[in-house]
Structure 1
């Protein structure tokens, strides 16, 4: 039992009608205290598989349904009166509105009788290791009415979410339960409320009810939900489920050495689990008509988000390999590998890409080939084949089970490093443009004779000026004053400083517009569906607008673009140009590359399938690792760039396909994912479009300036920070304590421990950045070993300085 004091106004001094305004508690005279006793108790959810009463309650409601769709009422008082009117119109004449309203609200004894609180309600609460959170989008109101002869239920779906006070900030559904006070224990208002509260506690079900257009569709969703709840009750784990727990890197089963000797068991379990769901990966996108606009915007987003990094990394590879791997080869390789992965991968939402670490690795191989006079295509292919061999071997030996040792904090350190790497690439590219164009003036003419004549005249004038400045001292010694600066005339100098300034504006403008449109989903402007579409298309809109600004509005300003080579795309590696020792020397580089791809691949899959994403079809760590190995065999032999699962593209892909529900808690706005459409169609479509983009080379793709690509990198880095718990805790160091959000670690972990843990994570991140971004390429080769070192640091060192219970809380997956 909990007692609360509610202070506020108890009078009606403005002569407005007495009403139950935006909160369940209505207050009156200022300064007067009213005590309210609130009893909170647990209500067991209805078990539809074992309890017959739940089915009977729903059948009775469906027979005489009282359903209000898109009610325009805004206050709780208005909503309840509309519901009671609807119940009366449906033939329940024994329902007296005034009696019900007096029973629904508790009179607190004020003189004006308008300090009131809902008497009895049922509301959903999500309790986990991360704390307690109210489900604020629905409210079940219970009422015992003496004049009633039988029970009545009315459900109202509001046109817009309403703010009715604490723990009910976005009410969208109101369930009114009316029951006579003297009835069987299995037919009380609480028992009837249990039935409907259990059904409405499912966020996916509430989202389906939003899509219902008629009362019949609404009823049909209720029937489907009853059927769903009848079959999803927890059952004893079968032998197959226990085997799956042994091969799933995300299970809590303790890792054993014997698990690595069950050759191929992980791949078999992945295929056995995912193959039955394979047809639904396509049909979900075709049969559900409301998904088509979502899939279209997601495919466009993926097309832009994949194509532009391909152009950027292709340009980087073109410079480091001197044209052996250029933009066109990167685009073709992305299309081939992406289509194969989207068709056969166990986790279709994961997006494979060639990445910055792979581009650095390729530049190191080019340097080795130059130092030892090796054939680059052959040596590149040899390293790629060894890499694929180790990846396939690791998949067969269930090496992905090592991901059990990676905690959330370690994964977020690596994710934040990748975001910083995107920012670093943008900054380095912009600095390079400034160094080339801003500091050194460029001659406006290529006529060398004219330039030499002009310079000769200037030098003669300077010499004459020097002679005129000559003088003598008192002892007769000459003193010569030289002209220290000689300036070329404006007719010979073309000022190029507008180029880097325009590049900077294009980069920052792409970031600003893209992120502003991305955040439009959380704003109150425009209609909700318009906000959702614009937010999904934020990146394409920003890229198109600022490419137009740079390439057309500033047509007279020459901007840097990528190079284009019109040669053969496919070139088979000629291994006969390598000796046996050359092939053996490639083993070490192939192992380092396999280690890098193994860690990145599995961490990206893990970050994409976090519990809060609510992905239901499961993962396939072992099979996807083997598939990546086979794809890289093809890439190596054809001279195309390697690829692996990429962050944050994979997480952003899942977020684009997610249905999101917003809620307010403690004054902070949070997003809760309702469900995600797990389909192969979006990634498959995007990669096919990327393959067709070869015909857009060099024009019009060269109309996209490099600064816009850098702005895209910044956009990807910024959007990938959403949901990164480490970044959220880093921001706490800059915030006033009173503005801390009510997160689970703030409530359950001492503040000093939180900041100390964050500081240790920042230290690990700095070490990763120091080695991963060091100018010498060979230093970067040890980066995979540093990522592995995060495991013993988290499991062995951190528990020595911070209690294990606090570490587990801060590392927990919050829903």
Structure 2
């Protein structure tokens, strides 16, 4: 649209025409190159964030500098893209923030009446949808807690998630009285937060990846995050310079980076992939490929169904559909064996499964090697020959005498 209006503008100028209205005028709302610049900003943000996040594995700069660049990859990317956008001066769409700290609507205050203009009996009817929302929020919180508290993360303070659920419940009541959006578990942000707090070994052999040691378990970063979010209402003069394509690029990077290591995403990539090019996933050693694809199709169908319900007018029954997944999982016992489900739907991380199986295979190979090392000589007609322990005789120093005596 912008390029079409710009070419039309040039034709009118060359033919000395006159404009009526401001749509395609010299100072109209359509400016050329904005769409192309937004695409460049979007993909540059994604690529730069991924590059800086993996910078700690590069060979440049000391380890401490590489670690700082990797930890603040998203912040450095946003700051760089904002400066580049400001330097070029192309009017890309910016983040819209209010200039005054007040409620969005002028006809309401900070607190609202829970019933409003509705009659009193509506409070009794709302018990059913409130129960559905409670189920949804509880499952959302617990699913996020299970993902974060996996054994491979080596967390030691897992009980803190109960405190998180308590705070979510309290804030739900506060937000309801103030008419604010509810606080719910942010799965993608939580995974990104945990990944940014990983502790790795500083000393490693040349060419060897640092070993994962655990998570820096503390609540300082979480507290600072929400303090900065609260103070952002006083930084509107700075936030209005952030282009929207940069924010969309950050959201895409955070969503894509959280997919790494998820078995469901790995199984989707197996579709259309020849067997010789498939990665050495542990479940492919024990489950036929057709069963793996069937399990993936069932999961993908349930995900699409949930998304369709959530975006439709029937979104109120979304919690019940989430609860119905429990029964769908139970019906899968009729299609798959327990052994197959243990490999396709187990809480044990993929890396740990593979490590355990490789260890068992090494132990079996070592036992077989020891058995093959035992040489059995058939006695047959040589039963009269005495059995000599060569090791004992050599330690006694009488190997030569024994040999001569038998000779």
TM-score normalized by the length of structure 1: 0.37
CA distance in 2, matches of 1:565, 1:497: 29
State the shift of 1:717 in Å.
0.6
Decide whether aligned partners of structure 1 residues 675 and 637 sit closer, same or farther in structure 2, where only a CA change above 3 A counts: same
Determine if the alignment matches structure 1 residue 721 to structure 2 residue 256. Answer: no
Q: State how far apart, in whole Å, the 1-side matches of 2:248 and 2:55 are.
A: 22
Structure 1 pair 585/496, CA: closer, same or farther in 2 (3 Å)? farther
Alignment of 1:37-186 (within 5 A): none
- Asked if 1:586 is matched to 2:126, the reply is yes
Deviations 1:222-257 (A, max 9, x none): xxxxxxxxxxxxxxxxxxxxxxxxxxxxxxxxxxxx
1:658 to 198, 202, 217: 198
Equivalent pairs counted in the alignment come to 330
Q: 1:811 aligns with which of 317, 322, 345?
A: 345
The offset of 1:725, in angstroms, is 1.1
Please, which of 154, 177, 185 is the counterpart of residue 637 of structure 1? 177
Aligned to 2:225: 686
Q: TM-score, normalised by structure 2?
A: 0.72
User: Is 1:511 the counterpart of 2:46 in the alignment?
Assistant: yes
1:586 deviates by 3.4
**CA pair 806-696 structure 1, distance change in 2 beyond 3 A:** same
Query: Residues 563 and 690 (structure 1 numbering): CA distance in 2 closer, same or farther, change over 3 Å?
Result: closer
What residue is the counterpart of 1:791 in the other structure? 326
Which one has the bigger helix percentage? 2
Give the Cα separation in 2 of the matches to 1:595 and 1:576: 23
Residue 779 of structure 1 pairs with residue 314 of structure 2? yes
Rounded Cα–Cα distance in structure 2 between residues aligned with 1:673 and 1:661: 7
Distance 1:491 1:555, change over 3 A: closer
SS at 2:240 equivalent: helix
Q: Is the 8 A contact 2:54 2:70 kept in 1?
A: yes
Given the alignment, which residue of 275, 284, 290 partners 1:752? 290
Question: Cα distance 1:533–1:502, how it changes in 2: closer, same or farther (>3 A)?
Answer: same
Cα separation, 2, equivalents of 1:442 and 1:781:
49
Per-residue deviation at 1:741? 2.9
Distance 1:728 1:713 in 2: 21
Kindly indicate whether the alpha-carbon contact (under 8 Å) linking 2:112 and 2:179 is maintained by their aligned counterparts in 1: yes
Matching residue within 70, 95, 102 for 1:561: 95
Shift of the alpha carbon at 1:491?
A: 4.5
How far, CA to CA, are the matches of 1:766 and 1:671 in structure 2? 38
Task: Give the Cα separation in 2 of the matches to 1:574 and 1:494.
Answer: 42
Counterpart secondary structure, 1:652: helix
Distance 1:633 1:791 in 2: 29
Match of 1:625 in 2: 165
The 1:520/1:585 distance shift into structure 2, 3 A limit, reads same
Structure 2: runs of 5+ lacking an equivalent: 10-16, 104-108, 203-207, 353-407
Match in the other structure for 1:601: 141
Per-residue Cα deviation, 1:649-699 (whole angstroms, up to 9, x for no partner): 11221221112469xxxxxx98863211211111112222222222102x1
Contact kept in structure 1, 2:149 and 2:155, CA below 8 Å: yes
Aligned residues of 2:113 and 2:177 also touching (Cα < 8 A)? no
Give the Cα–Cα distance (whole angstroms) in 2 for the partners of residues 543 and 641 of structure 1. 26
Matches within 5 A, 1:356-755: 454-455=19-20, 491=26, 495-550=30-85, 552-569=86-103, 571-575=110-114, 577-578=116-117, 579-619=119-159, 622-660=162-200, 673-697=212-236, 699-755=237-293
CA RMSD of aligned residues (A): 3.2
Closer, same or farther: CA 769–521 of 1 in aligned 2, 3 Å: farther
- Assess if the C-alpha contact under 8 Å between 1:443 and 1:493 holds in 2: no
Whether the 8 Å CA contact 2:19–2:25 is kept in 1: the answer is no
* 1:126 equivalent in structure 2: none
Give the corresponding residue for 1:80: none
| Residue 590 of structure 1: how far off its partner (Å) | 2.6
Q: 1:766 to 1:735 in 2, by over 3 A?
A: same
Preserved CA contact (<8 Å) 1:443 1:494: no
Matched with 1:311 is: none
**Shift, 1:720, TM fit:** 0.7
Question: d(CA) in 1 for partners of 2:338 and 2:7?
Answer: 62
Matches within 5 A, 1:267-346: none
1:555 shift after superposition: 1.9
* Structure 1 residue 604: Cα displacement: 0.7
Are the structure 2 counterparts of residues 558 and 514 from structure 1 closer, same or farther at C-alpha, using a change threshold of 3 Å?
Answer: closer
Contact kept? 2:115, 2:123, Cα under 8 Å: no
Q: Deviations over 1:553-601 (max 9, x none)?
A: 2324242431415253571113474320343343344333323211211
Q: Once the two structures are superposed, what CA deviation does each residue of 1:714-753 show, in whole Å capped at 9, x if it has no partner? A: 0111111122111112222244433433332122222332
State the distance in 1 between where 2:210 and 2:271 align: 23
